[in-house]
């Protein structure tokens, strides 16, 4: 008799357990967790395996398949998308992550879409919309002879509705809004998220056409078409519009772009209509009322003795395709129209995670030609085996109802209209203990918040083992790497090690695009990937990436310039204050500046006689210190309470316009009975340590006078790709895979 696997037998990290408990495991009315990870995986496996009973399998055969699916997940070789993990075998029963809803040019159609979106968000899914059918702003409304307010105005209605709906108690709604580049309101759309207080539940992308891209290349005008009348309403210079898209993406990370004609050239069901929209993260183009369930193979588990285990990858691919096809039958759909369309086309999206971990095990640098070649080889293998697995299911169960053999892979029948998708894997990769999607490592080592305000250093397990084998593993090394976010400048490490453990900001934007294009070449749907830029990147560099993505065959692009979104939020929040950053005055009373929703900063370790003191300094849009937080010892302790009090008073002073140099003068030199030595200097007290941390931040990170200048020093005091604090745990939120992810608690702003 086969032994029953328990939660302790599953190789889950502490952080994986924390994410599972917070987001996936069942809870009672008091919020207490009532099951284990093993019970969760067993429940999911049992529910999904039941679909085989619809195709003539008996109870014992279904039970065997349940064990297969259970092993597939608990071995962490494959995980389905979050709604499947959360809802399979439970009352809600909605298992898909991705939906696209049509928005027609009538009030009835618009508000039907709002209602349907609310139902989907409540069930745990994300929605994509094309607003390209809506008549432009200022156009005549025939029924009332009034004036249309245009697509952007109606997007705010969707955004407000999304804000009001909490997804299944665990997930906030996510939307994609797309407008064709030839819509008359395109210029308003491009800048609609310039103010980050608007449309916060939307990602936006401009739908670019081949004719537009040709006009850009030829530096000529293109036509704007009223979708109501189909008449030309004006012309714009294509390069000017393209430049505006690029500028906004550089400034704020949005809009992204999708190449509509390229997406439709690989549309497997052209007779059913054109694809106009994607899911919220852009990797899943869908027809109206389609949904798609996704899942990811953990490539970190597909390496044996330094080589790709192709047999294990084949076995995992076949089982994953079977699993995802079963999800279609076991899903409880939020709308009847969605159920009918989904079952008629049976699209699935099998992707990957742990790509960076696979490359590390193969000793291949992420930014090398060898990595690009391996990406093509691995994804081509998954695509081929996925189609063969789908064909085998078709022989047994029949092809999908809308199957057209004239456009599908020769004469090979298939069960699913699409098979492969590269989706973001924020929470899933934390559960699996691997790198996210096809992204490079976001950091080799970083500081994670744990209980009672204390912090721990999290380190990549492959690097930890290698550093230990080299005799170099020390806490000081890990602290140095955590501060820098990279090993590129750690001279005591061998050069080959530094090349293998490369991070997102160690590589060029072109390297990101080349990797995306390599995976796209063998992916039926699209690829979710973030192209990271350093803060000092130019607008021209963003433009070059957009052009390269077009040339290399990508279906869309998402970019993020480090710190850009924080700066944008801050600039809007502080626009009411004086240009020099002074506090507002009302009736001669000094009013501290309000704290924005998102803010960036850095944490510095200072060793004191009372223990390790972590000093976090956040800054305003001008780079001036804005607030100070401190952590030392356990919450509630004397040292902790004193340090917290100092931090609060310093924050009040900084937000009221007091110069940081004046604060340093007041605190520096205060002594206590337990001085210590750190970084070659004497730390007289916690107050002295805070002053010196503030001084180092100002001197090295901002004025450019310290040890190599501002550019080098500033990278040591902040997380790469950090877009602000996590709203749930306060950790750093990173841009990965077209999604915002907190590696501290698993929070994501996407629907994967």
**3-state secondary structure (DSSP) of residue 175:** strand
Say which of 279, 326, 345, 618 is annotated catalytic.
279
Q: Taking Cα atoms as reference points, which of 290, 279, 402, 287 lies closest to residue 351?
A: 279
Say which of 66, 283, 567, 734 is annotated catalytic.
283
Provide CB contacts within 8 A for 56, sequence distance 6+.
none
Question: What span, in angstroms and rounded, lies between the C-alpha atoms of 216 and 243?
Answer: 10
Tokens 């001197």, residue? 699
Let me know if 661 is a catalytic residue: no
Tokens 């249309």, residue? 148
What DSSP string runs through 287-320? -TT-EEEEEEEEGGGSEETTEE-HHHHHHHHHHH
Tokens 């899933």, residue? 428
Residue 648 to residues 163, 599, 617, Cα–Cα distance (Å): 31, 16, 12
Say which of 98, 192, 281, 750 is annotated catalytic.
281
Question: What span, in angstroms and rounded, lies between the C-alpha atoms of 578 and 560?
Answer: 29
Task: Output the CA angle 743-745-746, nearest 5 degrees.
Answer: 65
Burial zone of 494 (CB within 10 Å; 0-12 exposed, 13-18 middle, 19+ buried): exposed
**Phi-psi category of 46—alpha, beta or left, where left has phi over 0 and alpha has psi -120 to 50?**
alpha
Neighbours of 7 (CB within 10 A): 16
Give the tokens for residue 430: 């934390």
Cβ atoms of residues 352 and 436 within 8 Å? no
Provide CB contacts within 8 A for 347, sequence distance 6+.
286, 290, 292, 416, 417, 418, 525
Residue 115 to residues 160, 164, 187, 270, 699, Cα–Cα distance (Å): 12, 12, 28, 28, 54
**3-state secondary structure (DSSP) of residue 560:** strand
Q: Taking Cα atoms as reference points, which of 178, 386, 175, 390 lies closest to residue 263?
A: 178
Let me know if 283 is a catalytic residue: yes
Any idea what DSSP says for residue 157? H
Neighbours of 232 (CB within 10 A): 12
Question: What span, in angstroms and rounded, lies between the C-alpha atoms of 356 and 340?
Answer: 38
**Phi-psi category of 316—alpha, beta or left, where left has phi over 0 and alpha has psi -120 to 50?**
alpha
Question: What span, in angstroms and rounded, lies between the C-alpha atoms of 31 and 504?
Answer: 37
Provide CB contacts within 8 A for 589, sequence distance 6+.
none
Cis peptide before 255 (omega within 30 of 0): yes
- Regarding beta strands 285-286 and 277-278, do their DSSP bridges make them parallel or antiparallel, or are they unpaired? antiparallel
Q: Taking Cα atoms as reference points, which of 159, 194, 192, 157 lies closest to residue 173?
A: 159
Question: What span, in angstroms and rounded, lies between the C-alpha atoms of 288 and 285?
Answer: 10
Residues with catalytic roles: 279, 281, 283
């Amino acid at each position: 008799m086969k032994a029953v696997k328990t939660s302790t037998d599953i190789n889950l990290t502490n952080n994986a357990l924390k994410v599972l408990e917070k987001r996936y495991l069942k809870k009672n009315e008091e919020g207490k967790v009532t099951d284990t990870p093993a019970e969760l995986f067993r429940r999911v496996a049992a529910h999904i395996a039941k679909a085989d009973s619809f195709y003539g399998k008996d109870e014992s055969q279904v039970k065997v398949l349940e064990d297969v699916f259970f092993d597939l997940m608990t071995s962490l070789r494959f995980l389905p998308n979050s709604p499947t993990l959360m809802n399979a075998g439970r009352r809600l029963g909605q298992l898909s992550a991705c939906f696209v809803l049509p928005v027609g040019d009538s009030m009835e159609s618009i508000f039907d879409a709002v209602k349907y979106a609310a139902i989907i968000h409540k069930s745990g899914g994300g929605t994509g919309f094309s607003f390209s059918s809506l008549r432009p702003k200022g156009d005549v409304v025939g029924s009332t002879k009034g004036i249309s307010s245009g697509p952007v105005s109606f997007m705010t209605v969707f955004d407000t509705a999304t804000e009001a709906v909490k997804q299944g108690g665990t997930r906030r709604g996510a939307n994609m809004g797309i407008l064709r580049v030839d819509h008359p309101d395109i210029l308003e759309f491009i800048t609609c998220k310039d103010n980050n207080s608007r449309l916060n539940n939307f990602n936006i992308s401009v739908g670019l056409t081949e004719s537009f891209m040709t006009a850009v290349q030829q530096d000529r005008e293109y036509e704007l078409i009223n979708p109501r009348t189909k008449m030309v309403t004006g012309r714009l210079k294509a390069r000017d519009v393209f430049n505006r898209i690029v500028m906004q993406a550089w400034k704020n990370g949005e809009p992204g772009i999708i190449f509509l004609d390229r997406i439709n050239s690989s549309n497997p069901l052209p007779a059913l209509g054109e694809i106009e929209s994607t899911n919220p993260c852009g990797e899943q183009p869908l027809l109206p009322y389609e949904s798609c369930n996704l899942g990811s193979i953990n490539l970190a588990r597909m390496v044996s003795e330094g080589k790709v285990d192709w047999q294990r990858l084949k076995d995992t691919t076949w089982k994953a395709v079977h699993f995802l096809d079963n999800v279609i039958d076991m899903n409880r759909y939020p709308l009847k129209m969605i159920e009918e369309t989904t079952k008629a086309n049976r699209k699935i999206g099998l992707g990957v995670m742990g790509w960076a971990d696979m490359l590390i095990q193969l000793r291949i640098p992420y930014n090398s030609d060898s990595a690009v070649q391996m990406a093509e080889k691995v994804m081509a293998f998954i695509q081929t085996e996925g189609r063969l697995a789908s064909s085998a299911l078709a022989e047994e169960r029949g092809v999908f109802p809308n199957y057209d053999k004239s456009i599908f892979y020769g004469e090979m029948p298939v069960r699913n209209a699409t098979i492969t998708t590269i989706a973001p894997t924020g929470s899933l990769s934390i559960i699996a203990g691997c790198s996210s999607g096809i992204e490079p490592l976001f950091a080799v080592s970083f500081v994670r918040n744990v209980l009672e305000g204390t912090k721990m250093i999290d380190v990549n397990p492959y690097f930890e083992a290698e550093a230990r084998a080299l005799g170099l593993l020390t806490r000081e090394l890990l602290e140095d790497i955590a501060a820098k976010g990279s090993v590129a400048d750690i001279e005591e490490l061998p050069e080959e090690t530094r090349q293998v453990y490369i991070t997102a900001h160690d590589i060029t934007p072109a390297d990101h695009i080349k990797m995306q294009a390599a995976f796209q070449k063998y992916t039926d749907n699209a690829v979710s990937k973030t192209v990271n830029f350093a803060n000092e990147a130019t607008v021209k560099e963003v433009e070059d990436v957009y052009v390269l993505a077009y040339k290399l065959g990508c279906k869309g692009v998402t970019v993020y310039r480090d710190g850009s979104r924080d700066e944008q939020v801050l600039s809007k929040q502080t626009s009411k204050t004086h240009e020099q950053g002074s506090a507002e005055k009302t009736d001669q009373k000094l009013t501290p500046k309000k704290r924005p929703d998102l803010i960036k900063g850095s944490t510095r370790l200072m060793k004191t006689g009372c223990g390790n003191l972590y000093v976090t300094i956040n800054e305003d849009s001008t780079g001036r210190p804005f607030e100070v937080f401190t952590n030392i010892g356990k919450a509630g302790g004397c040292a902790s309470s004193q340090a917290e009090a100092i931090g609060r008073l310093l924050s009040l002073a900084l937000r009221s316009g007091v110069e940081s140099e004046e604060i340093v003068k007041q605190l520096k030199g205060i002594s206590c009975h337990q001085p210590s030595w750190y970084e070659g200097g004497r730390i007289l007290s916690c107050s002295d340590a805070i002053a010196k941390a503030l001084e180092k931040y100002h001197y090295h990170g901002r004025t450019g006078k310290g040890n190599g200048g501002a550019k080098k020093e500033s990278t040591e005091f902040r997380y790469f790709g950090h877009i602000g604090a996590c709203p749930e745990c306060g950790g750093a939120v990173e841009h990965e895979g077209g999604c915002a992810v907190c590696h501290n608690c698993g929070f994501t702003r996407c629907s994967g």
